[in-house]
Amino acid sequence: MKYIRALLSLLVAGGLTYLLNRPIAVLPALGPFFSPFTGFWQNADAPLKLPPTDVQLQGLKGTVTVKYDDNGVPHIFADNDEDLYFAQGYVIARDRLWQMEFYSLVAAGRLSEKVSPLAVDFDRYNRRLQLPEGAAKLADAFLKDPVSKMIVESYSAGVNAYIAQVTYKNLPLEYKILGYEPEPWSPLKTGLVEMVMRKDMNARSDDYRMSNILAKYGKETVNALFPNYPIEESPVIPAGTKWDFAPVAVPKVPEMMKATLAANLDLEAENPGIGSNNWAVHGSKSATGLPILANDPHLGLTLPSIWYQMQLHSPTVNVYGVCVPGWPGIGIGFNKDVAWGMTNVGSDVFDLYKIQFKDTTQKEYWYNGAWKATTLKVNEFKVKGLPEPVRDTLIYTHHGPVLTNHGQKPFSADAPVGHALTWVGVEATGNSVKGLYLANRGKNYDDYRKMLPLVAAPAFNVVFASNQNDIAITSNGALPLKYKEQGKFVMDGANPANNWNGWIPMEQVPYVKNPARGFVSSANQFPADPTYPYYLGWKFAPGERGIRINERLAKMEKATPDSLRLLQDDNFNVEARRTLPMLLKMIEQNPSAKALPAFSILANWNLKNDPDQVAATIFERFVKEFRAAVWEDEFSMKDDNVPMLYPTRDVTWALLQKQPTAKWFDNINTKDKVETGAELVATIFKATIDSLTLKHGPMSPKTWAWGTAKSTDIKHLVPAFKAFSRMDVINGGGGSIVNATTESGHGPSWRMVVQLDKTWPKAYGLYPGGQSGNPGSPLYDNMIDGWAKGQLNELVFLKSKDEKHPKIVSEMKIGKSK
Amino acid sequence: MLYTLILIISAVAQYFGPWWTMPVVCFALCFWKSETAKGAYGVAFAAIATLWLGYALFLDNATKGVITQKITNLFLGNAPYKSLLFAATSLIGSIVAGFAGMAGYYCRKAL
């Protein structure tokens, strides 16, 4: 009996310990996770964090000093570049290890292995987009050049030196909850991080929807409603700029494939608010006589933030700015002499080809008058909780991989069945690490031009300013040399004339230096007016932000950093200025619509999307509903079988103004009545008020205020971790507003203003998050409130290791271990 | 006495080692010193409840509760019951401790 009792009690105690030591279903291992000695309690940081202790690490040549300022920004001082990039990797891993590995897992198609089996379709799609192959090509390019090889290898060694120190107790919280551990970093993972950026920027297309429209309505309607250049636009390179190069021959337009109606699609909304603003004013327009540069890249707002601030100092460089965790160097920033910034160039670089297979084995396809063999590749990947790996057979054509095989369900509308993809993301390599190395050390305009060819994809509008009073902007990147409208519709994969045909020569991509107007700017609009000799795409971001920025900069005299900060936070609604007078006149014709209190609110609006404006809430909602009311009946975006695309807002407003009785305004579903544009405006205005009342209750200045109604959410990278997100941040702006904060949680992910100077620049900046990636740190989201108010912090840019600065609060020495 | 010993020795063990040194210490000390099965369970349970709850409260206070509410919300949605997190912490530790202590007592009896 006593033996049985002993055995039983041992079994219970041991079994309980064993069970609590391992994850059960979605729960973390409860023992270590709840233990205050090792678990989540240990991830809480005190408001005044103890200064980091000095460390000894293997792989360093000398001693590195890291000074932290009161915002948690590390200022790294090293005696040589190897140590500098080693320390950059080490220091960023201390704050953002989980996040950088998360990005690499996304691009590797391995989220379902580590994070959640729910990500299996997402993983499969990312693998089909060839993100892992693209990353391998990038890593090869990094390792081929001695400079970038030194950087990515030192950086990896630094990250790995941190990983080697980590025990369960100081593991980032997300690992503890999700139950996995960090893997070693490598140059390949830096390539994977770059691939995530490439995908976010331009891996989507409207080709398929446009083909459906072409098939149903013909070329004339496409030309009228989906033109290749907007009616109202203010391009990046000032209209009328002369092109000082002899263009190369553009491929001939081949005979078009007969467009057919497509089926079998999932639906995806229009392009999200991936966009950005940047500009630089020349000394002739600034208070000091030297340029000021501003940049605010708009990306998905997440926690941890996509950006991390740093200063890097070695005998060859002293630079400050932001970087993406996992990607060495400084991406957007400034040094003593120059400043640079980036916005996305939304050119069409993602093209679909219809493939005609010989039979269902899909082993051969028709190309150039003969059957050509495909290549098959089986992707095998582990999924958390599944005993067997998932297998996915990919079919490669010379165009690229088939995104969705026959018999499979497409992951998104960008990936129709039986179509192959050619995408710049895996076609162009460049060497971004070397490019940033040069940018960080740039001294003048010539250095800027030298760095550009290395940054191939995604294409960026790279703005530049120097203390020699030069300003410039280049719509830079690998841009395919296309015939007019190539890739506006799905192309015939059998016709060789549809293949991509090399690139626009790098020195002929749109650029301008010191234009007469005294400033350069970009907001993702068309890079150039139609005189530019090459076709870049038919649709770019709506022009309103660019129009507003250019108007204000044109008027600006004696600009200061604060004038540019205020412009970044500008809430003026250009679309409302263009359309509201016409809309109000149309609403007036309908007495019951005119009688609504909302009418006078709209009529008395200051045209600003300020957080307290009720009119902004009404207008933005109206625009959405009106566009759907005009176009959904003919160009349905919601039709699962034949999805199409609405004409742009630009085209919609021009049509309403010039042809208010056009047939498109008639609702084809009401047989006995022909609606005009004006009637539709009044009807939709009333409907808008009804739907807003339904959503926010009866109209009141509080609940209908734009800031409350829009409500920006800044979510953790794992959607299920709502507790680590900041919901309902109140601010103004909107998708087509300079302050481009949207309802979907996109917006200015970093705001920077740099005043160039002969002796030392003055810079300001801030992003909606915090330096620490740890939800248990006071520095996790400390900048969000200031960001919502449009404030900027003065950035601490130290001249040397010995400079005493009141904002430096702690110091850490990293020495080499014996 | 046993209570104090478990508290101190297991705290040292957990500070330097993994969390499961805690049941090992409870087992060993109760094997050595406990009088009855119930007593072994009770004293180990009480000592670890005190230790885990006390340390959690200390960390919460030292860090101004920066993580307590977030982890509560992670498990319980928007419920504001921070105290449940403290209760869960001390219970998870003390139940294991109690059974380990009891096993210590019974094993000695079996020898």
Q: What is the DSSP string of A725-741?
A: SEEEE-----TTSSS--
Residue A644 lies in a domain: yes
Q: Long-range contacts of range A361-365, CB-CB < 8 Å, 24 or more positions apart?
A: A362/A395, A362/A402, A362/A405, A362/A406, A365/A397, A365/A493, A365/A494
> CA–CA separation, A541 vs A538, rounded Å?
10
Alpha helices in A497-609 (DSSP H): 544-555, 561-568, 574-588, 591-594, 597-603
Cα A328 → chain centroid = 18
User: Residues of A at the B interface (Cβ-Cβ below 8 Å)?
Assistant: 2-3, 5-6, 8-10, 12-14, 16-17, 20-21, 30-32, 34-47, 168, 173, 177, 721-724, 775-778
Residue A680 lies in a domain: yes
Other Cβ atoms less than 10 A from the Cβ of A416: the count is: 23
pLDDT digits (tens, 9 = 90+) for A379-402: 888 998 888 898 988 899 999 999
What's the whole-number mean pLDDT along residues B56-68?
Answer: 92
**A130 DSSP assignment:** T
Integer CA distances (angstroms), A232 to A171, A229, A526, in order? 52, 9, 11
Nearest CA in chain A to B14: A37
**Is 50 exceeded by the pLDDT of residue A548?**
yes
Q: Which residues of A touch B68 (CB under 8 A)?
A: 44
Quick one: CA torsion of A337, A343, A347, A351, rounded to 10 degrees?
A: 110
Whether omega for the bond prior to residue A458 falls within 30 degrees of 0, making it cis, is yes
Q: Which of A9, A12, A22, A177 to mutate to test the interface with B (most CBs of B within 10 A)?
A: A9
- The answer to whether residues A103 and A196 touch, using CB atoms and an 8 Å cutoff, is yes
Q: For A290, phi and psi rounded to 5 degrees? A: -125, 160
Nearest CA in chain B to A44: B67
Whether omega for the bond prior to residue A304 falls within 30 degrees of 0, making it cis, is yes
> CA–CA separation, A390 vs A387, rounded Å?
10
Expressed as residue numbers, the domain containing B67 is: 2-110
Interface size, chain A vs chain B, as Cβ–Cβ contacts under 8 Å: 122
Of A3, A31, A37, the CB nearest to B110: A3
Residue A690 lies in a domain: yes
Nearest CA in chain A to B13: A37
Task: Select the more confidently predicted residue: A262 or A746.
Answer: A746
**Is 70 exceeded by the pLDDT of residue A272?**
no
Q: Which residues of B touch A773 (CB under 8 A)?
A: none
Q: What is the pLDDT of residue B83?
A: 87
**Is 70 exceeded by the pLDDT of residue A269?**
no
User: Residues of B at the A interface (Cβ-Cβ below 8 Å)?
Assistant: 14-15, 18-20, 22-23, 27, 52, 55-56, 59-60, 62-64, 66-74, 77, 88-89, 92-93, 95-96, 99-100, 102-103, 105-107, 109-110
Residue A600 lies in a domain: yes
Q: Which of A4, A5, A35, A37 to mutate to test the interface with B (most CBs of B within 10 A)?
A: A37
- The answer to whether residues A528 and A237 touch, using CB atoms and an 8 Å cutoff, is yes
Residues 6+ apart with CB under 8 A from A667: A629, A633, A673, A675, A680
Q: What is the pLDDT of residue A720?
A: 85
Q: What is the pLDDT of residue A1?
A: 78
With bands split at pLDDT 50, 70 and 90, how would you rate the model's confidence at B43? very high
Inter-chain residue contact A9 with B14, CB threshold 8 Å:
no
Residue A664 lies in a domain: yes
Instruction: Specify the 3-state DSSP secondary structure of A149.
Output: helix
Q: What is the pLDDT of residue A686?
A: 95
Mean pLDDT across chain B, nearest whole number? 92
Inter-chain residue contact B18 with A32, CB threshold 8 Å:
yes
**Is 60 exceeded by the pLDDT of residue A273?**
no
Other Cβ atoms less than 10 A from the Cβ of A368: the count is: 11
> CA–CA separation, A54 vs A813, rounded Å?
5
Beta strand ranges found along A308-429 (DSSP E): 308-314, 317-323, 332-335, 338-344, 350-354, 364-367, 370-373, 375-381, 390-396, 419-423
Angle, helices B82-110 vs A2-20, to 10°: value is: 150
Expressed as residue numbers, the domain containing A644 is: 574-607+614-704
Rounded to the nearest angstrom, the minimum Cα separation between A752 and chain B is: 29
What's the whole-number mean pLDDT along residues B28-38?
Answer: 89
What's the whole-number mean pLDDT along residues A257-265?
Answer: 47
Q: Which residue has the tokens 């995806």?
A: A268
- The answer to whether residues A797 and A760 touch, using CB atoms and an 8 Å cutoff, is yes
Q: State how many domains chain A has.
A: 1
> CA–CA separation, A67 vs B5, rounded Å?
43
Inter-chain residue contact A9 with B103, CB threshold 8 Å:
yes
Q: What is the pLDDT of residue A265?
A: 32
Q: Which residues of A touch B86 (CB under 8 A)?
A: none
Q: What is the pLDDT of residue A675?
A: 84
Residue A795 lies in a domain: no
Q: What is the DSSP string of A69-80?
A: ETT--EEEE-SS
| SS3 track for A333-351 | EEECCEEEEEEECCCCCEE
With bands split at pLDDT 50, 70 and 90, how would you rate the model's confidence at B110? confident
> CA–CA separation, A719 vs A7, rounded Å?
45
Q: What is the DSSP string of A666-696?
A: S-TT-TT----HHHHHHHHHHHHHHHHHHHH
Nearest CA in chain A to B19: A32
> CA–CA separation, A177 vs A659, rounded Å?
59
- The answer to whether residues A536 and A757 touch, using CB atoms and an 8 Å cutoff, is no
Nearest CA in chain A to B26: A13
Of A35, A45, A723, the CB nearest to B14: A35
Q: Which residues of A touch B67 (CB under 8 A)?
A: 40-41, 43-44, 173, 775-776
Inter-chain residue contact A775 with B56, CB threshold 8 Å:
no
Of B19, B72, B106, the CB nearest to A32: B19
**Residue A326 falls in which region: left (phi positive, over 0), alpha (psi -120 to 50) or beta:** left
Q: What is the pLDDT of residue A733?
A: 92
What's the whole-number mean pLDDT along residues A521-538?
Answer: 94
**B81 DSSP assignment:** -
pLDDT digits (tens, 9 = 90+) for A602-618: 999 999 999 999 999 99
Q: Which residues of B touch A776 (CB under 8 A)?
A: 63, 66-67, 70
- How many H helices and E strands in chain B? 5, 0
What's the whole-number mean pLDDT along residues A670-687?
Answer: 89
Q: What is the pLDDT of residue A259?
A: 54
**Is 70 exceeded by the pLDDT of residue A261?**
no
Six-digit token string for A228:
């290749």
* Cα-based angle A576, A462, A278 (whole degrees, multiple of 5): 30
**Is 50 exceeded by the pLDDT of residue A263?**
no
Residues 6+ apart with CB under 8 A from A594: A587, A588
Inter-chain residue contact A6 with B106, CB threshold 8 Å:
yes
Rounded to the nearest angstrom, the minimum Cα separation between B4 and chain A is: 18
What's the whole-number mean pLDDT along residues A209-216?
Answer: 90
What's the whole-number mean pLDDT along residues A488-495?
Answer: 91
**Is 50 exceeded by the pLDDT of residue A247?**
yes
What's the whole-number mean pLDDT along residues A51-66?
Answer: 87
**Is 70 exceeded by the pLDDT of residue A759?**
yes
- The answer to whether residues A205 and A537 touch, using CB atoms and an 8 Å cutoff, is no
Strands A332-335, A317-323: parallel, antiparallel or unpaired by DSSP? antiparallel
Residue A583 lies in a domain: yes
Nearest CA in chain B to A30: B92
Rounded to the nearest angstrom, the minimum Cα separation between B21 and chain A is: 10
> CA–CA separation, A521 vs A558, rounded Å?
17
Quick one: CA torsion of A739, A744, A749, A754, rounded to 10 degrees?
A: -10
pLDDT digits (tens, 9 = 90+) for A624-660: 999 999 999 999 888 777 889 999 999 999 999 999 9
Nearest CA in chain B to A46: B63
> CA–CA separation, A577 vs A548, rounded Å?
11
Mean pLDDT across chain A, nearest whole number? 91
With bands split at pLDDT 50, 70 and 90, how would you rate the model's confidence at A203? confident
Q: What is the pLDDT of residue A267?
A: 30
What's the whole-number mean pLDDT along residues A22-45?
Answer: 90
> CA–CA separation, A207 vs A302, rounded Å?
29
Cα A120 → chain centroid = 23
Predicted ipTM beyond 0.95: yes
Q: What is the pLDDT of residue A23?
A: 84
Q: What is the pLDDT of residue A413?
A: 65
Strands A375-381, A390-396: parallel, antiparallel or unpaired by DSSP? antiparallel
Inter-chain residue contact B63 with A3, CB threshold 8 Å:
no
Q: Long-range contacts of range A111-115, CB-CB < 8 Å, 24 or more positions apart?
A: A112/A381, A112/A382, A112/A383, A112/A384, A112/A390, A113/A381, A113/A382, A113/A383, A113/A384, A114/A178, A114/A180, A114/A384, A115/A178, A115/A180, A115/A384, A115/A718
- The answer to whether residues A228 and A485 touch, using CB atoms and an 8 Å cutoff, is yes
pLDDT digits (tens, 9 = 90+) for A456-480: 888 999 999 999 999 999 999 999 9
- The answer to whether residues B52 and B59 touch, using CB atoms and an 8 Å cutoff, is no
pLDDT digits (tens, 9 = 90+) for A220-242: 999 999 999 999 999 999 998 99
> CA–CA separation, A350 vs A207, rounded Å?
9
Six-digit token string for B64:
């101004």
Q: State how many domains chain B has.
A: 1
Inter-chain residue contact B64 with A45, CB threshold 8 Å:
no
**Is 70 exceeded by the pLDDT of residue B33?**
yes
Helix (H) or strand (E) holding A192: helix A187-202
Six-digit token string for A172:
């980032």
Inter-chain residue contact B59 with A42, CB threshold 8 Å:
yes
> CA–CA separation, A259 vs A790, rounded Å?
48
In whole angstroms, how large is the CA radius of gyration of chain B? 15
Q: Which residue has the tokens 């960023």?
A: A92
**Is 50 exceeded by the pLDDT of residue A671?**
yes
- The answer to whether residues A543 and A230 touch, using CB atoms and an 8 Å cutoff, is yes
Q: What is the pLDDT of residue A270?
A: 44
Residues in chain A, overall count: 818
